[in-house]
């Protein structure tokens, strides 16, 4: 399922913000009209690859914020699990020092809405609810513009960690297009030239999509 070109699913959930505080009814809707958002899912708290990604986003957080882009993480763990992991030092496998919001998708509805949930619910022969698959989130990442529309998405399987520099490059590419009306060719990076969208029917295509 692709959400590109569509409104990001709306939700309200508890998040841990600033590494210590609970924010109930946290929603990405608060950023509409104000900021771009990089919203990413990771599989589970207290694991091995996940903290490397969360810390990598924190290390680049100032660069995202300088571009007016919020960073928000999420997994299907509970708010209490998030809070506990946030109190553990990085040297001990924790994520202490993470300041961006970490959403608790405890009922798994957010991951499901974004198409990142691994597994699904079924009913067995006795009518009992059963899960096929781990029911945790793949490594999904979504770049959402100020109108709340998904402009980029990436979903990796559990073993494959993401490149945070690439996420930052995609923010640059989106903002370059929004500001200049020029599209970004392969391997484009900030500071390089774009392509005139009026050439070769590109403008007509963009207007239609």
**Residues 49, 75: contact at Cβ < 8 Å?**
no
Pairing label, strands 117-123, 129-137: antiparallel
Q: CA torsion sign, 51 to 52 to 57 to 58?
A: positive
Q: Which two tokens stand for residue 170?
A: 């995609």
Question: What phi-psi label fits residue 139: left (phi over 0), alpha (psi between -120 and 50 degrees) or beta?
Answer: beta
Catalytic residues: 50
Terminus-to-terminus CA distance in the chain, angstroms? 18
**Residue 39 neighbours by CB under 8 Å, 6+ apart:** 8, 28, 72, 74, 114, 141, 142, 144
**Residue 132 neighbours by CB under 8 Å, 6+ apart:** 119, 120, 121, 122
Sheet containing 36-41: which strands, arranged edge to edge?
Answer: 21-26, 13-17, 102-104, 69-75, 36-41, 139-144, 150-156
């Amino acid at each position: 399922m692709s959400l590109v070109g569509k409104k990001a699913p709306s939700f309200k959930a508890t998040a841990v913000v600033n590494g210590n505080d609970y924010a109930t009814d946290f929603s990405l809707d608060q950023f509409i009209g104000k900021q771009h958002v990089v919203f990413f899912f990771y599989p589970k708290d207290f694991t091995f690859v996940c903290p490397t990604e969360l810390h990598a986003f924190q290390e680049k957080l100032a660069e995202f914020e300088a571009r007016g882009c919020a960073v928000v993480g999420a997994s299907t763990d509970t708010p209490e699990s998030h809070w506990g992991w946030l109190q553990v030092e990085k040297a001990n496998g924790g994520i202490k020092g993470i300041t961006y919001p970490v959403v608790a998708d405890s009922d798994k509805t957010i991951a499901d809405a974004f198409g990142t949930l691994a597994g699904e619910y079924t009913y067995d022969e006795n009518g009992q609810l059963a899960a096929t698959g781990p029911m945790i989130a793949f490594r999904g990442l979504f770049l959402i513009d100020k109108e709340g529309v998904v402009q980029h998405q990436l979903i990796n399987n559990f073993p494959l960690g993401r490149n945070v520099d690439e996420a930052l490059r995609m923010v640059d590419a989106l903002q370059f297009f929004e500001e200049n009306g020029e599209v970004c060719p392969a391997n484009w990076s900030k500071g390089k030239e774009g392509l005139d969208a009026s050439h070769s029917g590109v403008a007509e295509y963009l207007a239609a999509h």
